[in-house]
Each structure stands twice: as C-alpha cells, then as structure tokens.
C-alpha cells in the first residue's frame, strides 16, 4: 500500500502530456502543469506551413513553461496541407479566405480556461506568421492579454492599431530573409507580402503608453557565432513595457530552438524560451 501511495504521489506531481481538444472543425493541443488550477496560460502560434506538434518540438517551450507553472496551448491554423493564420496581409489560404482567427483564439482561451480550470492570465507568442497574429490579437484585444512576444514576424502596422497598453517583447534578426527587419518583401519569402518593419511594430506598441517612458540599452556578444544582440528596454516607471531584442546577423528562426536548416544563421547569444518567460514573469 505504501508503494502504491508513493506511485500515486509521483504521478500526481508529473505534468500532464499534451492532449488534443476539438473545437468544431478545428483543434488545439494543450499541456498542463502539475497543478493546473488557476494556472496562467501561454498560447504559442506556429508559423505558416507549421503545426502544433512541430512547433512544440522546434521551440522546446513546453517543458520549461510547465516547470514554471504555465499551461501551454498550441492552436492549429487552417489549410488543406499547409496550415496558416490570417494576420491580415499574410498568410496563404487563411488570409485569402479571411478566416476569423481572432475569434478562434478567443474561443480557444475561453474553452481552455473553462475546461481545465485555468486562470485569467493569458500570454501570447508566435513565430513568423504566428508572431504576426499574436501581435495583431494582442493589439486588438489588450484586455485579454497580459503580454505578447513576437519572434521573426511583424504585424501589419499600416492597418492595425494597438487599442490600449499591452507589454510586448520583440525578437527579430537583421539577416531575416523571410520577414526583413527593415520591412518590405523578403528575398526568400514564400509570399509577395510587403511586410511592416520592426521599428513600426515597436512604435505601434509604445504609442498607447504615452509620454514619460525611459529607454535603456545593452549588448550581448559572448559567443563566437557571428551574431550579437542589442537589447533596448522601454520602461514606465520601473516596469519594462517593451523590450526589443535585435539580433545582429540573426536569421528567420526561434533562437535556442531547432534550426529549420543547417545553413541558417541562428544566434547562440540568447534562448528565446528563457527570454519570453523572463518577460512574461515581469507582467503577472
């Protein structure tokens, strides 16, 4: 009996494996911490052509987030073969068909909270096309989002206005040939989109905070990998409300994750998972 009780205690302490939840004709995958009651929730949006399983593997975010008490949700985009999100000016069939992905994300949040007893704190992050939608959703639904982190993707700042203050972390490489740091059409882009610049996204998220922001900068260059990271913090009082991590020489990838291609430039200076969770922890 004692051994059986010990086994139950060990199993109870383990985080639940990811499970698939159907919402109509769509789905999301969720991984729960050992104690999901009132746990904060992170939505992780895959890039164009990606999917929840692949994004979980490439980023490696699930395990580290669970250990910090977050529930992690990977929603799925739409498409026959290659899944994508409708972030306005990108991408693929989701954009062409004007899929209401903002409504879908809202439904995912509400369902996960009700079904698993999660808390009201919601955070968004995403890669590429997923970053575009994460930023767009946060901009248009700031009351639902504690903070957002975009990696290698920029929302359409020509059409999207940030409705109210929402903390934002932006991670982007200057050698990104898919979504150029300075904006415009990427040389290796699979779409003909004229992407917004990172600078315009920074300004869009700073605008609702008004005047009185302080700005500090620092640089990381500890590895001999051909990259360095310039970090600029914008703070309101003691609270960092926007952090820009400009990866000099960085490509279109998730820093610290699995390289999409062996020849792709990926910085060793930072780990996106650590940086995202560190920023989210500033905004409980």
CATH code at position 242:
3.40.50.1820
The reply to whether 26 falls in a domain is yes
The reply to whether 197 falls in a domain is yes
pLDDT of residue 190: 82
Confidence of residue 4 (pLDDT cuts 50, 70, 90): very low
The reply to whether 277 falls in a domain is yes
Number of domains composing the chain: 1
Rounded to an integer, the average pLDDT of 30-38 is: 96
Read off the pLDDT of residues 179-212 as tens digits, 9 standing for 90 and up. 999 999 989 888 889 999 999 999 999 999 999 9
Beta strands 147-151 and 168-173: pairing type?
A: parallel
The reply to whether 149 falls in a domain is yes
Those residues whose C-beta lies under 8 Å from the C-beta of residue 184, and which sit 6 or more positions away, are 194, 195, 197
Average pLDDT, the chain: 92
The reply to whether 2 falls in a domain is no
The reply to whether 1 falls in a domain is no
pTM, to two decimals: 0.92
pLDDT of residue 47: 96
DSSP 155-203: --TTT----S---EEEEEETT-SSS-TT-B--TT-SS---BPPHHHHHH
CA distance 12 to 262: 40
Can you tell me which residue has the tokens 């994460």?
A: 134
Indicate whether 6 pLDDT > 80: no
Name the residue among 95, 56, 58, 51 with its Cα closest to residue 77.
51
CA distance 229 to 219: 6
Provide the H-helix boundaries in the chain: 2-13, 52-59, 61-67, 92-96, 101-116, 129-140, 198-206, 272-281
pLDDT of residue 134: 98
Q: Residue 47's domain spans which residues?
A: 17-281
The reply to whether 132 falls in a domain is yes
Read off the pLDDT of residues 139-167 as tens digits, 9 standing for 90 and up. 999 999 999 999 999 999 999 999 999 99
Two tokens, residue 138 = 């946060």
Rounded to an integer, the average pLDDT of 66-86 is: 96
The reply to whether 5 falls in a domain is no
- Asked if 26 contacts 51 with a C-beta cutoff of 8 angstroms, the reply is no
Indicate whether 168 pLDDT > 60: yes
């Amino acid at each position: 009996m004692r051994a059986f009780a010990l086994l139950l205690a060990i199993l109870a302490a383990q985080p639940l494996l990811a499970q698939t939840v159907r919402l109509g004709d769509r789905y999301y995958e969720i991984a729960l911490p050992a104690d999901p009651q009132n746990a904060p929730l992170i939505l992780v949006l895959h890039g164009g052509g990606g999917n929840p399983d692949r994004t979980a593997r490439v980023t490696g975010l699930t395990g580290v987030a669970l250990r910090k008490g977050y529930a992690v949700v990977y929603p799925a985009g739409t498409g026959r073969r290659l899944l994508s999100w409708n972030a306005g000016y990108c991408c693929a069939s989701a954009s062409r068909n004007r899929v209401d992905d903002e409504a879908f994300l809202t439904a995912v949040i509400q369902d996960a909270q009700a079904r698993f007893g999660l808390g009201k704190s919601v955070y968004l992050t995403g890669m590429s096309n997923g970053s575009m939608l994460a930023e767009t959703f946060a901009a248009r639904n700031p009351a639902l989002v504690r903070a957002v982190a975009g990696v290698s993707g920029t929302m359409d700042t020509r059409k999207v206005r940030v409705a109210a203050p929402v903390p934002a972390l932006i991670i982007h490489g200057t050698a990104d040939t898919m979504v150029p740091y300075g904006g415009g059409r990427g040389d290796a882009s699979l779409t003909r989109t004229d992407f917004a610049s990172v600078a315009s996204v920074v300004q869009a998220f700073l605008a609702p905070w008004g005047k009185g922001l302080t700005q500090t900068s620092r640089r990381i260059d500890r590895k001999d990998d051909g990259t360095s990271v310039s970090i600029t913090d914008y703070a309101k009082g003691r609270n960092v409300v926007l952090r820009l991590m400009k990866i000099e020489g960085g490509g279109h990838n998730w820093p610290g994750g699995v390289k999409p291609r062996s020849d792709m430039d990926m910085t060793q200076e930072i780990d996106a998972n650590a940086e995202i969770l560190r920023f989210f922890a500033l905004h409980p």
